[in-house]
Structure 1
Amino acid sequence: MLQEIAMQREHLQGAAIETIYFGGGTPSLLTADEINRLFDAICRYYPVKDLKECTLEANPDDLDKNYLRSLRHTPVSRFSIGVQSFRDEDLRYMKRAHNAQQADTAIKGAQDAGFENLTIDLIYGIPGLSDAAWKQNLDRVGQLRIPHFSSYALTVEERTALYHAIAQRKAAPVDNERSAAQLEILMHTAAAMGYEHYEISNLALPGRYAVHNTNYWRGLPYLGIGPSAHSFDGGIRRRWNVANNALYTQSILQDHKLQYEEEVLTPHDRLNEYIMTSLRTQWGCDLAYITAQWDATTTKAVAKSSELFQEKKWIVHEGGKLYLTRAGKLFADRIASELFIVEEK
């Protein structure tokens, strides 16, 4: 990874680095020394004087007092803690290594160590998670004074322990209706606690948005380092490194090159991606921006397609922008796909 940082130094074309995000896999396995080595390499090749946020994803069971104390001597200023639930029965169902007490202890320990800028993730739609228990999970966010959290419906990926347990009827399957009901509870409860639902899966107290995530939704360029890491040039090229750890390492250390795949986005790809990402945020889909970047005919087509959803009260059209309503957020992917412009062959 240190070598790749040097190899990729032209990717961002000198753009100032606002955020660094140690994510994917389990970056909390890194020692403070390893984090500093990576950060030093970034500073060597990229302008970081405008750095606003340096986030480390962490498992709750990794954040003990000694590790937290060592991280005070790194640039890490924010933690994303994989809590998922404050209930042991949910964590057992999802085959998580930590328990509810460890989640609580990790959050309080980080705060005591001076890391006030935290985000956690919470999962809803878990079989056995009642609506009352889900609200208790949300209430715990407020009690712990956590400024930001992400919340997702439980999805079961193939080739996971949970997937096989469900297939063998050793675990209950996911109930999509329960997930939808708990998304509504999330929206109402979070608003009552003062959180802004600024993106469908992300909620924050006023002014505490994740800078890294927000820049991603704004379509700014980013560079991903490591196996499977994705990068975007801010224009038309997206690429992702080879996923296999051994091949990744060999290509850099032995072959002195990087193995990756790349796609070139068409104007339609970029438009549809803008529609999808902008609709998910509280800032909405800007029709004037579509006109400026594409053309007025495209803007009219998108606006026309939105009329059906305006009638259903799933979208509101205000100030030249399209916004999802609370009801519309339950159908965000469907709505976005209906607004997509299909490229003529």
Structure 2
Amino acid sequence: MPKKVPKKKKRTRIPQSPRSSITSKTQKIKSSDEYDSPQPFSRFDVERLNRFIVQLIKSNEVKDPEELNYLIEEALTFETWEEIFDSVEFSDIEIAQELAYQAMESRDRKEALRLANEALKLDPDCIDALVMKAVVEAKSVSKLIEKLKKIIAKAEKNFGPDYFKGRERDFCAIVESKPYMRALRMLILFLRAEGRVGESVLVAERMLDLNPRDIEGIRYTLLGLYLETGNLAGAQRLFREYPDEEGAVFNWGQILERYLAGDMEKAAMVLKKAISQNPYVLDYLIGRKRVPNEIFDDNSVDEESEAIECWQELGVAWESYPDALKWLKFFAQEAGW
């Protein structure tokens, strides 16, 4: 067993996250309203852990993998993120990032803004905090888009001209890159909402260039954008680049792509396969079911959640082709679905 490394003197205390309990999955989040449903792990917890490991290595000057594993295992015996964070030294930049995570987790706009502002006091360049502040304070979508572009440009300037070179294969494995990629994704969302689809495509393609393995799942958004604009070649390229993709978005995207290409036989064949895998998508696309007004990011992986995600990515594309929807409804009626 490696020699236990003594803890160094603690510096600034990391604020406790609303989801601070690692072991409990029923931690309640409080905002202006109270939500009684159980809350699973935060979507940022893996990222938090990765940042912690980086700081663990820096704080203890760990060089031996066995020693690192020992320190990680020891940290994971703690029951809260606060205890984990207190076991190493954190810079103001890392504390600001934790505040930004909490801002993004909050369901209360005022609390989110307060946390973002606190983060920016510690690190004026904290991308997640800048984005959160911009979103909460936005007066219009167009002004928000311009603000997001400035935040992204500032981040790229801070990274430096050589930061992106040669990192295409492992870019998203770099934990510091994740806030930047989130900002790009947020820009895509609002560009699309503003009807600036061409710009959305360029940003999405940029994200895939940086991260071909596509940890963020931007290929699903890009597929919807390609189909919405009738770019069948772009959609077909995605199908070739991700041949093992079997999820609902690619299945229902291929149905529409084959329909638009005039290959009705293949469209019908993929439709039968898609229905057998997840019948709920059809209900949302043809309007038999309405998408909930509020969709919480609760890490659900059930068929209903997948169907809603599929509608979010492809709904506009399908609605852009009324004849395709008529065919879909007719086929469903004839098949008794």
Bin the TM-score by the shorter chain. Answer: under 0.3
Structure 1 or 2: larger strand share?
Answer: 1
The alignment's TM-score, normalised by the length of structure 1, stands at 0.26
The alignment's TM-score, normalised by the length of structure 2, stands at 0.26
Pair member with larger Rg: 2
Structure 1 or 2: larger helix share?
Answer: 2
